[in-house]
Amino acid sequence: MPYNPALVAPMRTEVTRLGARELTTAAEVDAALGDQRGSMLVFINSVCGCAAGNARPALTLALKHPVVPQQVVTVFAGQDLEAVARARQYFADYQPSSPSMALLRDGEVVHFVHRHQIEGRSPQAIATDLTSAFDKFCGAAV
Amino acid sequence: MSGHVFHPGHSALHGMTVVVETAGTLTYVGRYDREDDTGVHLLDVGVHDLQSAIAKEEYIKRSSSFGVRGEHRHVVVPANQVARITQLGNWEPARSS
Protein backbone atom coordinates (compact mmCIF):
# COMPACT_ATOMS: atom_id res chain seq x y z
CA MET A 1 0.00 0.00 0.00
CA PRO A 2 1.46 3.39 -0.93
CA TYR A 3 2.60 5.66 1.87
CA ASN A 4 0.75 8.80 2.78
CA PRO A 5 1.38 11.28 -0.06
CA ALA A 6 2.15 14.00 2.44
CA LEU A 7 4.96 11.89 3.86
CA VAL A 8 6.40 11.24 0.43
CA ALA A 9 6.09 14.78 -0.93
CA PRO A 10 9.44 16.02 0.45
CA MET A 11 11.17 12.99 -1.06
CA ARG A 12 9.69 13.84 -4.43
CA THR A 13 10.64 17.48 -4.09
CA GLU A 14 14.21 16.60 -3.17
CA VAL A 15 14.55 15.16 -6.68
CA THR A 16 12.33 17.43 -8.75
CA ARG A 17 14.02 20.54 -7.40
CA LEU A 18 17.15 19.29 -9.16
CA GLY A 19 15.35 19.59 -12.46
CA ALA A 20 14.23 15.99 -12.70
CA ARG A 21 10.91 15.57 -14.47
CA GLU A 22 8.52 13.40 -12.55
CA LEU A 23 6.65 10.71 -14.49
CA THR A 24 3.56 9.42 -12.74
CA THR A 25 1.73 7.49 -15.45
CA ALA A 26 2.64 4.84 -17.99
CA ALA A 27 1.79 7.29 -20.76
CA GLU A 28 4.22 9.83 -19.38
CA VAL A 29 6.90 7.15 -19.17
CA ASP A 30 6.32 6.10 -22.75
CA ALA A 31 6.44 9.69 -23.90
CA ALA A 32 9.79 10.18 -22.20
CA LEU A 33 11.49 6.84 -22.73
CA GLY A 34 9.96 5.67 -25.97
CA ASP A 35 12.24 6.56 -28.88
CA GLN A 36 14.58 8.18 -26.38
CA ARG A 37 17.51 10.08 -27.90
CA GLY A 38 20.63 11.45 -26.27
CA SER A 39 21.39 10.77 -22.63
CA MET A 40 18.84 10.38 -19.89
CA LEU A 41 19.03 9.38 -16.24
CA VAL A 42 16.01 7.58 -14.81
CA PHE A 43 15.99 7.89 -11.03
CA ILE A 44 13.72 5.39 -9.31
CA ASN A 45 12.92 7.11 -6.06
CA SER A 46 11.97 5.23 -2.92
CA VAL A 47 10.80 5.79 0.61
CA CYS A 48 13.33 3.32 1.98
CA GLY A 49 15.64 5.07 4.39
CA CYS A 50 18.27 2.35 4.13
CA ALA A 51 19.22 3.38 0.62
CA ALA A 52 17.12 6.24 -0.68
CA GLY A 53 18.37 8.41 2.13
CA ASN A 54 21.76 8.26 0.43
CA ALA A 55 20.60 8.01 -3.16
CA ARG A 56 18.90 11.39 -3.27
CA PRO A 57 21.86 13.32 -1.83
CA ALA A 58 24.10 11.38 -4.22
CA LEU A 59 21.98 12.53 -7.13
CA THR A 60 22.16 16.09 -5.86
CA LEU A 61 25.95 15.91 -5.79
CA ALA A 62 26.25 14.16 -9.14
CA LEU A 63 24.11 16.69 -10.95
CA LYS A 64 26.57 19.43 -9.97
CA HIS A 65 29.14 17.71 -12.16
CA PRO A 66 30.16 19.57 -15.36
CA VAL A 67 28.93 16.67 -17.50
CA VAL A 68 25.39 15.53 -16.80
CA PRO A 69 22.67 13.71 -18.74
CA GLN A 70 20.63 15.79 -21.12
CA GLN A 71 17.49 14.77 -19.28
CA VAL A 72 16.72 13.49 -15.82
CA VAL A 73 13.40 11.86 -15.09
CA THR A 74 12.09 10.17 -11.98
CA VAL A 75 9.44 7.68 -10.97
CA PHE A 76 8.54 6.81 -7.41
CA ALA A 77 8.54 3.13 -6.40
CA GLY A 78 5.71 2.06 -4.16
CA GLN A 79 3.80 5.21 -5.07
CA ASP A 80 3.33 5.61 -8.79
CA LEU A 81 2.98 1.90 -9.44
CA GLU A 82 1.94 2.09 -13.07
CA ALA A 83 4.74 4.46 -14.02
CA VAL A 84 7.39 2.40 -12.24
CA ALA A 85 6.21 -0.84 -13.81
CA ARG A 86 6.31 0.71 -17.26
CA ALA A 87 9.72 2.29 -16.69
CA ARG A 88 11.14 -1.07 -15.65
CA GLN A 89 10.03 -2.52 -18.96
CA TYR A 90 12.61 -0.26 -20.59
CA PHE A 91 15.40 -1.94 -18.63
CA ALA A 92 13.97 -5.40 -18.35
CA ASP A 93 17.40 -7.06 -18.29
CA TYR A 94 17.86 -5.63 -14.82
CA GLN A 95 16.02 -6.98 -11.82
CA PRO A 96 13.80 -4.40 -10.13
CA SER A 97 15.08 -2.66 -7.05
CA SER A 98 14.54 0.70 -5.49
CA PRO A 99 16.06 3.11 -5.22
CA SER A 100 18.00 2.57 -8.40
CA MET A 101 19.18 4.56 -11.38
CA ALA A 102 19.40 3.77 -15.06
CA LEU A 103 21.49 5.83 -17.43
CA LEU A 104 20.25 5.57 -20.99
CA ARG A 105 21.86 6.64 -24.20
CA ASP A 106 19.69 6.55 -27.32
CA GLY A 107 17.31 4.16 -25.62
CA GLU A 108 19.97 1.71 -24.44
CA VAL A 109 20.87 1.21 -20.80
CA VAL A 110 24.56 2.05 -20.59
CA HIS A 111 24.92 2.13 -16.81
CA PHE A 112 22.76 0.86 -13.98
CA VAL A 113 23.02 1.54 -10.27
CA HIS A 114 21.23 -1.10 -8.25
CA ARG A 115 19.96 -0.67 -4.75
CA HIS A 116 22.71 -2.92 -3.44
CA GLN A 117 25.26 -0.52 -4.92
CA ILE A 118 23.73 2.27 -2.87
CA GLU A 119 23.18 0.58 0.48
CA GLY A 120 25.68 1.57 3.13
CA ARG A 121 27.68 3.83 0.84
CA SER A 122 28.14 7.53 1.27
CA PRO A 123 26.44 9.97 -1.10
CA GLN A 124 29.89 11.09 -2.19
CA ALA A 125 30.93 7.57 -3.16
CA ILE A 126 27.70 6.96 -5.07
CA ALA A 127 28.00 10.34 -6.78
CA THR A 128 31.55 9.56 -7.84
CA ASP A 129 30.37 6.39 -9.56
CA LEU A 130 27.58 8.30 -11.24
CA THR A 131 29.77 11.10 -12.49
CA SER A 132 32.23 8.57 -13.91
CA ALA A 133 29.34 7.18 -15.91
CA PHE A 134 28.28 10.70 -16.92
CA ASP A 135 31.79 11.40 -18.18
CA LYS A 136 31.80 8.18 -20.14
CA PHE A 137 28.35 8.27 -21.64
CA CYS A 138 26.98 11.81 -21.53
CA GLY A 139 29.73 13.79 -23.22
CA ALA A 140 29.31 15.10 -26.71
CA ALA A 141 31.92 12.81 -28.21
CA VAL A 142 30.55 9.45 -27.16
CA MET B 1 29.31 -6.76 12.42
CA SER B 2 30.47 -3.32 11.46
CA GLY B 3 28.64 -0.94 9.24
CA HIS B 4 26.49 2.13 9.24
CA VAL B 5 23.29 1.66 11.23
CA PHE B 6 20.43 3.26 9.35
CA HIS B 7 17.65 2.17 11.66
CA PRO B 8 18.33 2.54 15.36
CA GLY B 9 17.58 -0.72 17.11
CA HIS B 10 18.20 -2.80 14.02
CA SER B 11 21.23 -4.77 12.98
CA ALA B 12 23.84 -2.93 10.96
CA LEU B 13 22.87 -5.19 8.08
CA HIS B 14 19.19 -4.32 8.19
CA GLY B 15 18.10 -3.31 4.70
CA MET B 16 21.34 -4.44 3.10
CA THR B 17 21.47 -6.89 0.23
CA VAL B 18 23.54 -9.80 1.44
CA VAL B 19 24.81 -13.19 0.40
CA VAL B 20 24.05 -15.87 2.98
CA GLU B 21 26.13 -18.96 2.41
CA THR B 22 25.14 -22.10 4.23
CA ALA B 23 26.77 -25.29 5.34
CA GLY B 24 24.70 -27.10 2.73
CA THR B 25 24.27 -26.62 -0.99
CA LEU B 26 22.11 -23.50 -0.84
CA THR B 27 23.20 -19.89 -1.04
CA TYR B 28 20.72 -17.08 -0.58
CA VAL B 29 20.91 -13.53 -1.93
CA GLY B 30 18.42 -11.09 -0.49
CA ARG B 31 17.74 -8.13 1.71
CA TYR B 32 18.67 -8.74 5.33
CA ASP B 33 15.79 -7.96 7.63
CA ARG B 34 16.64 -9.36 11.04
CA GLU B 35 17.87 -12.34 12.98
CA ASP B 36 15.92 -14.04 15.73
CA ASP B 37 15.60 -17.45 17.34
CA THR B 38 14.33 -18.96 14.12
CA GLY B 39 17.24 -17.74 12.03
CA VAL B 40 18.17 -15.02 9.57
CA HIS B 41 15.20 -13.37 7.88
CA LEU B 42 15.74 -12.30 4.29
CA LEU B 43 13.35 -10.47 1.96
CA ASP B 44 13.06 -10.67 -1.85
CA VAL B 45 15.38 -13.60 -2.02
CA GLY B 46 17.12 -15.48 -4.80
CA VAL B 47 18.41 -18.97 -4.11
CA HIS B 48 21.30 -20.84 -5.67
CA ASP B 49 21.80 -24.57 -5.33
CA LEU B 50 25.24 -26.00 -5.91
CA GLN B 51 23.54 -28.73 -7.91
CA SER B 52 22.21 -26.25 -10.45
CA ALA B 53 23.79 -25.75 -13.86
CA ILE B 54 25.14 -22.29 -13.13
CA ALA B 55 28.13 -21.98 -10.80
CA LYS B 56 27.63 -20.20 -7.50
CA GLU B 57 30.22 -17.54 -8.34
CA GLU B 58 28.49 -16.82 -11.63
CA TYR B 59 25.10 -16.64 -9.94
CA ILE B 60 26.37 -14.10 -7.42
CA LYS B 61 28.21 -12.15 -10.10
CA ARG B 62 25.03 -11.94 -12.16
CA SER B 63 23.07 -10.86 -9.11
CA SER B 64 25.57 -8.08 -8.58
CA SER B 65 25.52 -6.95 -12.21
CA PHE B 66 21.85 -7.33 -13.06
CA GLY B 67 20.19 -7.34 -9.66
CA VAL B 68 18.77 -10.00 -7.43
CA ARG B 69 16.11 -12.18 -8.94
CA GLY B 70 13.69 -12.31 -6.04
CA GLU B 71 12.11 -15.75 -6.19
CA HIS B 72 10.84 -15.68 -2.62
CA ARG B 73 9.33 -12.79 -0.71
CA HIS B 74 10.58 -14.02 2.66
CA VAL B 75 13.04 -16.73 3.62
CA VAL B 76 14.27 -17.72 7.06
CA VAL B 77 17.68 -19.35 7.00
CA PRO B 78 18.13 -21.41 10.18
CA ALA B 79 20.93 -19.92 12.23
CA ASN B 80 22.74 -23.23 12.53
CA GLN B 81 22.92 -23.44 8.73
CA VAL B 82 24.53 -20.03 8.22
CA ALA B 83 28.19 -20.25 7.31
CA ARG B 84 28.86 -16.69 6.19
CA ILE B 85 26.96 -13.44 5.61
CA THR B 86 28.51 -10.89 3.26
CA GLN B 87 27.20 -7.75 1.64
CA LEU B 88 26.62 -8.50 -2.01
CA GLY B 89 28.93 -5.72 -3.12
CA ASN B 90 31.74 -7.08 -0.96
CA TRP B 91 31.32 -10.75 -1.72
CA GLU B 92 34.36 -12.78 -2.73
CA PRO B 93 34.73 -16.54 -2.86
CA ALA B 94 35.73 -17.99 0.49
CA ARG B 95 39.35 -18.95 0.76
CA SER B 96 39.74 -22.69 1.01
CA SER B 97 41.65 -23.78 4.07
Range with lowest mean pLDDT among A19-23, A107-111, A136-140: A136-140
Q: Does B77 touch chain A (CB under 8 A)?
A: no
Q: What is the pLDDT of residue A64?
A: 97
| Mean pLDDT calculated for residue range B25-31 | 97
| Mean pLDDT calculated for residue range A28-44 | 96
Question: Closest chain B residue to A119 measured between Cα atoms?
Answer: B16
Candidates A49, A53, A116; nearest CB to B88: A116
pLDDT digits (tens, 9 = 90+) for B44-95: 999 999 999 999 999 999 999 999 999 999 999 999 999 999 999 999 998 7
> Does A49 contact B7 at a Cβ distance shorter than 8 Å?
yes
Q: b vs e for A91-120, b when ≥16 Cβ sit within 10 Å of the residue's Cβ?
A: beebbbbbbbbbbbbeeeeebbbbbbbbbb
Instruction: Please report the residues numbered 29 through 68 in chain A whose beta carbons come closer than 8 angstroms to any beta carbon of chain B.
Output: 48-51, 53
Report the Cα A27 to chain-centroid distance in Å. Answer: 18
DSSP annotation of A126 reads H
> DSSP string covering A7-31, please?
HHHHHHHHHHTTTPEE--SHHHHHH
- Measure the CA–CA gap between B97 and B86, rounded to whole angstroms: 18
Q: What is the pLDDT of residue A142?
A: 47
Catalytic (active site) residue A138: no
Whether the pTM exceeds 0.90: the reply is no
Q: Does A119 touch chain B (CB under 8 A)?
A: yes
Q: Does A114 touch chain B (CB under 8 A)?
A: yes
Q: What is the pLDDT of residue A85?
A: 97
Residue B9: is its pLDDT beyond 80? no
| Mean pLDDT calculated for residue range A23-49 | 94
The reply to whether omega before B93 is within 30° of 0 (cis) is no
Residue B1: is its pLDDT beyond 50? no
Catalytic residue among A9, A31, A50, A81: A50
| B3 pLDDT tier (thresholds 50, 70, 90) | very low
> DSSP string covering chain B, please?
--S--SSTTS-TTTT-EEEEEESSSEEEEEEEEEEETTEEEEEEEEEEETTSSS-HHHHHHHHHHH-----EEEEEE-GGGEEEEEEGGG--PPPP-
pLDDT digits (tens, 9 = 90+) for A70-116: 999 999 999 999 999 999 999 999 999 999 999 999 999 999 999 99
Rounded to the nearest angstrom, the minimum Cα separation between B86 and chain A is 12
